[in-house]
Amino acid sequence: MRNIIAGLFISLDGVAEAPGTWHFPYFNDEMGGAVEAIWSRSDTMLLGRKSWQEFASYWPEHPEADGADVMNGTPKLVVSNTLDQVDAWQNSSLLKGDPIEALTELKQGPGRDISISGSLMLTRSLLRAKLIDELHLLIHPIALGSGARLFDGGEHIPLELVSCTPFSTGVLHTVYRSA
């Protein structure tokens, strides 16, 4: 069975929105290794519309950047109610039908794990549906005060801590699974 593994950069106060504006001072080889470890387990990337559009505007234009080979070469499934096509970025296709049903079926099929990078709303909805097998939070030692948070609906989503690794930058790499 395939697992769905979600990874998010998140602030100490739970903000996961626009990490490109605050997380880079904390990025180092330790964090790069954690991200690469997730990618190495997967053969498919799952993205929400906003993350796909952001990544599609960057990665094809920067093939020399660290991680570009993975980002550009990995098959990408895009969950969107508004996009009609995703041919602007190689190896991208729209996930057809109800995302919960389609992903439940996809998890039962052959292949390696499915990774989610960013895609806050998608991650949130898959946590509610109990489809995420591992939630990797890279918790940065910064409070942002405002911005979209992973958990914002007042709902209870019980999680079990699998591991917690501190990095030299003060970032904590925590791994959770559904409790």
Q: Beta 42-48 vs 76-79: how paired, if at all?
A: parallel
CA distances (Å), 25 to each of 8, 105, 149, 165, in order?
16, 39, 20, 18
Is the domain 4-178 a CATH 3.50.50.60 member?
Answer: no
pLDDT for res 130: 93
Boundaries of every domain in the chain: 4-178
**Interval 37-91: pLDDT, tens:** 999 999 999 999 999 999 999 999 999 998 899 999 999 999 999 999 999 999 9
Whole-angstrom distance, CA of residue 123 vs CA of residue 109 = 21
Compute CA 46 distance to the chain's CA centroid, rounded to the nearest angstrom: 8
CA dihedral 147, 134, 81, 16 (to 10 degrees): 10
